Structure 1
Amino acid sequence: MRVLHNYSLNRGPLLAAGLSFHSIFAAFAALWLGFSIGGLVLQAQPRLSNAVFEFINSAVPGLIDIGDGDGLVKASALLAAPVLSWTGAVASVGLLLTALGWLAATRAAIRTIFGLPGPRTNPLILRLQDVGHAFAFGLAVLVSAGLTLVGTRALGTFGAYFHWSATDLAARGLGLVVMFLFDTVALASLFRVLAGIPIPARRLLGGVLMGATGLGVLKVLGSRLLVASGSNPLLASFAAIIGLMIWFNLISQVILMSASWIAVGASDEGSSVGGRTGVDDRDTGPR
């Protein structure tokens, strides 16, 4: 209960709503920018590009149309995104600033949940750190998709050799494991690196594992959630955008709830990582 109390006291639902709004623009900006930079490599590696598309769609259902007509952005348009031109360069700068805006908003939201003020780091250095964080995130997506591709092909070879009929199920399980590890590392990076909060390793691990589990459940149920959001006839004309906003709101709430869990635990342990977290009153009930 104290986790929810801290989350509400520090305006968690409002922060999550703001992050979901930022996420819509940042997602499209990151897609265009990422494929503009990596498109030359991905065009020559169709299997890898398909693995990247599937990985992104597993994280954000309905974002990319991989040929089934179900998606907001066509995969072919992403692979053809230009960057080696003046127009592409100017567009890339604008889109990079949009993506960095999401990182700045996420940092502020996480620090607010911890009851901390904004960081005192030089704004220019902070922006450069955000650029590095953004490119590291893109590289992590590429590596995760590559690992999934290699693992799936290995399972296919193994299944064909031993006449194993459960290859598809095993490949699905492998994809979920890779996504869980990706989410765990991403959350740890958000809390420790992006937000700059010196959280003890044990407390951080518990929080990110809980958060990654919550994100995993959302992703398993993602398609059903989005279908349910589009079943309302009043929203049918723009159901995809509404679905994405609902999705990003749920993701943002899981992230901030994990931050609240860590903040409450740190307060219980007497850690000085947070400011006023709203959990100092021990009469607010169990966690």
Structure 2
Amino acid sequence: MSDERGTTTGSTAVDDDRATTRSNAAGKPAIDVEKKAEGPAKPKSGIQKLIAWVMALRLVRVFIRFSSSGGEIMASGMSFQAVFAVFAGIWVGFSIFGIVLASNQALMDAVVQQLSNSIPGLIGEDGAIDPDMLSQARILGWTGAIALVGLVLTAIGWLASTRDSIRRIFKLDPPTTNPVILKLKDFGLALGFGIAIVLSSAVSLLSNQGLTIVFNLVGIDSESPVALFVAWLVGVLVVFAFDSLVLGVAFRVLSGVKIPLRRLVVGAVIGGAALGVLKILGSLLLGGATSNPLLASFAVIIGIMIFLNLVCRVILVSATWIAVGMDDAGIDPRALSPEQMEVERQQRVADARDTLVSAERERLRNELTTTHGLARRRVRKKLERLEKLDRAEALKLSKKL
């Protein structure tokens, strides 16, 4: 019997919380509570959308990965070693190429200017190194020999730490290359970097001479503001191209990964542009260090250390940009490393061997069912040797993998 409110005797229903009360067999009320159905997800508010959009930006994800990979600590360690590598490298570099540079004063000045632009405050009247002292550098003396040993140790150490840092950014395991070969590769890379500086200086010198000729042909004074601006712009472009090329080679060689060319070029160009901005603003960084009276005695060295720390950060952030781009494209850097390629090659060889072994095992088993006497014994021996060899090869492969 129902009352006016729609309730039933012995049974009560409440729609709001989906609780029902009814009489059981003993006449006692029993309550069943059903879980409320979850409604549709609430739309994100404006602030939540903004946060999600910002976190999805590639630049933000690059810096998050840089920080989570220990980029700050790695850049600090790299910059500390870079200070010693730079001074030893310049001394030995001028000792080796001094004979060539001494015969061409214009090229000598271009190299000095290139180094001065690369690291503000390094070379010059107020810099850490007197340009006149570089012309007296000789590798045959005791100082040159000691500097050579220092260069080998510091340059290789800096390149080794840079390699470890870049591979950590790419989430790669340490290289398994022979340590001696790895050190020789690092030394060759350092030597190639020195040669690249000389070549870049030569290109800069030739471009300046070419601009002078062009200005004379069109009747523009080479000392006019327009000519000076064009010469400055050409110099910046030459340095930008040099930095981008060096970064591209460093990322490819030090990572040990066959990075897709397009992503490698984009990362190197971004790094080259950032280094160019640092070099343009380098004098301001040095000025900030010299303005502190507590650091006046060491202002130049501290300015160089700050600059090199920023350079190392740029290198690692550029590498992180490439790594994040490869992740977005679904490219696993580990699959492009020589170590992983060797593992995959060995796995393919093992798969092919397993196929041949399975076919041979099946053939011997079939032959075993149709032979008798000595022939059956020979087939059984062959099958036992096959099984033994298969187990030995499987054990050897498991150790390698």
What's the TM-score once normalised by structure 1's chain length?
A: 0.91
Letter in 1 for 2:155: A
- 1:244 & 1:232 partners in 2: Cα distance? 15
2:329 aligned with 1:269: yes
Tell me how far 1:274 sits from its aligned partner. Answer: 4.9
- 1:91 & 1:208 partners in 2: Cα distance? 31
Any idea what the Cα deviations from partners look like across 1:180-224, whole Å, max 9, x if unmatched?
111111111111012212211111111111111111111111111
Tell me how far 1:174 sits from its aligned partner. Answer: 0.9
1:241 to 1:85, Cα distance in 2 relative to 1, 3 A: closer
- 1:211 & 1:90 partners in 2: Cα distance? 33
Q: 1:81 aligns with which of 124, 137, 146?
A: 137
User: Conserved in 1, the CA contact under 8 Å of 2:91 and 2:144?
Assistant: no
User: Conserved in 2, the CA contact under 8 Å of 1:33 and 1:96?
Assistant: no
User: Conserved in 1, the CA contact under 8 Å of 2:166 and 2:254?
Assistant: no
2:175 — aligned with what? 119
Of structures 1 and 2, the one with the larger relative CO (CA 8 A, separation 6+) is 1
Percent of matched pairs sharing the same residue: 47
Q: How does 1:137-286 map to 2 (within 5 A)?
A: 137-164=193-220, 165=224, 166-274=226-334
Any idea what the Cα deviations from partners look like across 1:44-89, whole Å, max 9, x if unmatched?
1111010000011111011012xxx221011111111111246533
User: Conserved in 1, the CA contact under 8 Å of 2:111 and 2:201?
Assistant: yes
Letter in 1 for 2:319: A
User: Conserved in 2, the CA contact under 8 Å of 1:267 and 1:274?
Assistant: no
User: Conserved in 2, the CA contact under 8 Å of 1:133 and 1:194?
Assistant: no
3-state SS in 2 of match to 1:94: helix
Letter in 2 for 1:251: V
User: Conserved in 1, the CA contact under 8 Å of 2:69 and 2:168?
Assistant: yes
1:129 — aligned with what? 185
Show structure 1 runs of 5+ residues with no match: 276-287
- 2:305 & 2:104 partners in 1: Cα distance? 32
**4+ residue runs of structure 1 moved beyond 6 angstroms?**
none
- 1:243 & 1:91 partners in 2: Cα distance? 23
Show structure 2 runs of 5+ residues with no match: 1-59, 336-401
- 2:87 & 2:155 partners in 1: Cα distance? 9
3-state SS in 1 of match to 2:193: helix
